[in-house]
Amino acid sequence: GITRHYQLDINLQNVTRLCHTKSMVTANGQFPGPRIVAREGDNLLIRVVNHVQNNISIHWHGIRQLRSGWADGPAYITQCPIQTGQSYVYNYTIVGQRGTLWWHAHISWLRSTLYGPLIILPKRGVPYPFAKPYKEIPIIFGEWFNADTEAIINQALQTGGGPNVSDAYTLNGLSGPLYNCSAKDTFKLKVKPGKTYLLRLINAALNDELFFSIANHTLKIVEVDAVYVKPFDTEILLITPGQTTNVLLQTKPNFPNATFLMTARPYATGQGTFDNSTVEGILEYESPSNSIHSSIKKLPLFKPTLPALNDTAFAATFTSKLRSLANAQFLANVPQNVDKKFFFTVGLGTNPCPINQTCQGPSNTTMFSASVNNVSFTMPTTAILQSHFFGQSNGVYTPDFPTTPIVPFNYTGNPPNNTMVSVELVLQDTSILGAESHPLHLHGFNFYVVGQGFGNYDPNKDPAKFNLVDPVERNTVGVPSGGWVAIRFLADNPGVWFMHCHLEVHTSWGLKMAWLVLDGKLPNQNLLPPPADLPKC
Ligand code: C2O
């Protein structure tokens, strides 16, 4: 690989949507932010310069960051934020990954405006496991808030509920014709007939899982979270915040005298307030230059149909179709045996705590809280990774974090020769305030989704049904609404790794935690020392 240099200048920029102009935090003045492109094996040196009053930190969502946790980015977990007037160079090498990922601010709710695609091409000369597409197009789903982001998070924290509702969904920052004063800001995908396009879909929305479809066109899913999957065709897909999905779009062989809409709309099962609106974009065929295809003749307009807002059956069916490619070239290294098992409940509750639960975090008696194993995480004031590396104690706030709230701790097997431990984690939606899907994201690892189901996880029966052959490998998984998901991963990456719901409002309420993965026995299994310019708190 080569070394690639990027610079992100964090600046305020006036941006207008829905006839509402606001001064917002952007990178290089762009919204969505600039595209970062590299190849597998490359070293990235990305200088982030903070010219705004806010503290800044950038996360490279889905990058493994092998031994380079200092570059991961979540504020107060792996680094102190970059303060006004300061800069920090995120330095990491892309090992064993190629596909679509993304980057976003990882402090407060700044990721609502500060995000962009991170595209990893295969090594030079290495083909995709599908025919080379004619063109590659990133499409980022986002949310537009007329209000200032900081005002919104404060509302969410103080009232424990809305209004944290966005004013529009966006495709590449454009809100589309269904909103007031918005038609001129419509995403148009211009295509030629008879070609294959690779759409790199990224859900950067703050708080909503989204359905997506393009009228009268089939999407072939080929990759999720920068891992190839067994290709399959679908009319509609589901993508949670944090997830990425690559699809092949085959355009019609001849110029169709028609307009096709693409739409995205939420999948929501919870009881909170959310934006139940639709963003529309247009798939537009370029007319053949020698034709007289009329602008006079009225063109038929095709609209896709999306599932009902709370169509959990669709969600379950769709996600169960995702299987890792697991062919000779791309092996699925699924841990067949597990050294450590964890069972975590994830969900919302209200304070005061339900009986038998320990709740921490905000103590307003009427507001929501969210927790992992009944503990609501509160942010430390110094970065946990630094505290860990330098042996300080002030970054550790819940040394008594319960590993098993319901089933007893179950350690099976012998410790392996090296110190890489295979981990199984079952995430159970508590459904205390009604069933709700939570897209859980783990930093620093990909994991295999070996099982999922509805109701309570049964440790005696459910493991027999686990898929240990070709489970999908990813970094963000929807814990099914009213159900559970089981994941396995190899704890081969020393450091401190954040895990949280990628619905930003749930993260703020405390649905987050950090894993501490210790160094291995060999020097090449150790966390590298921090860079000299690592920000100080
Ligand atoms: Cu995309 Cu911790 O986040």
Cis before 523? omega within 30: no
Q: Mean pLDDT across the chain, nearest whole number? A: 88
- Tell the burial category of 377 from Cβ atoms under 10 Å away from its Cβ (0-12, 13-18, 19+): buried
Is a pLDDT exceeding 50 seen at residue 406? no
Terminal-residue alpha carbon distance, the chain? 34
Strands 209-214 and 196-203: unpaired
**CA 70 to ligand 1 center in whole angstroms:** 15
pLDDT of residue 388: 87
Q: Which domain-ending residue is among 319, 350, 373?
A: 319
**CA 71 to ligand 1 center in whole angstroms:** 13
pLDDT digits over 480-530, tens only?
Answer: 988 999 999 999 999 999 999 999 988 888 888 899 998 888 888 899 999
pLDDT category of residue 134 using cuts at 50, 70 and 90: very high
Mean pLDDT over 95-109 rounds to 96
pLDDT of residue 509: 81
Distance CA 270, CA 21 (A): 31
How does DSSP assign 277-345, residue by residue?
A: --EEEEEEEPPPTT----SSSPPPEE------TT-HHHHHHHHHT-BB--SSSS-----SS-SEEEEEE
Please name the residue ranges forming H helices in 352-396. 384-389
Q: Which residue has the higher pLDDT, 73 or 379?
A: 73
Instruction: Look at ligand 1, atom 3, and give the residue with the nearest C-alpha.
Output: 61
Residues 226 and 150 in one domain: yes
pLDDT digits over 412-436, tens only?
Answer: 444 444 557 899 999 998 766 667 7
Is a pLDDT exceeding 90 seen at residue 349? no
pLDDT of residue 399: 45
Residues 378 and 310 in one domain: no
Is a pLDDT exceeding 80 seen at residue 270? no
SS3 195: coil
Question: How many structural domains is the chain composed of?
Answer: 3
Q: Which residues form the domain of 481?
A: 340-525
pLDDT digits over 197-239, tens only?
Answer: 999 999 999 999 999 999 999 999 999 999 999 999 999 999 9
pLDDT category of residue 395 using cuts at 50, 70 and 90: very low
Residues 385 and 515 in one domain: yes
Cα dihedral value 240, 506, 372, 348, nearest 10:
-110
Atom of ligand 1 nearest to the CA of 498: 2
Residues 161 and 297 in one domain: yes
CATH code of the domain in which 369 resides: 2.60.40.420
Q: Which domain-ending residue is among 127, 158, 191?
A: 127
pLDDT digits over 286-330, tens only?
Answer: 987 655 555 555 678 999 999 999 999 999 999 999 999 987 776
Q: Which residue has the higher pLDDT, 258 or 155?
A: 258
Beta bridge partners of 115: 104
Strands 58-61 and 87-93: unpaired
Residues 431 and 484 in one domain: yes
Question: 484 lies in a domain?
Answer: yes
pLDDT category of residue 163 using cuts at 50, 70 and 90: low
Atom of ligand 1 nearest to the CA of 62: 1
Ligand 1 lining (C-beta closer than 6 Å): 59, 61, 74, 104, 106, 242, 441, 443, 498, 500, 502
Residues 451 and 410 in one domain: yes
Atom of ligand 1 nearest to the CA of 507: 2
pLDDT of residue 347: 77
Considering Cα of 51, then 505, then 163, then 21, what sign does the dihedral take?
Answer: positive
Residues 78 and 147 in one domain: no
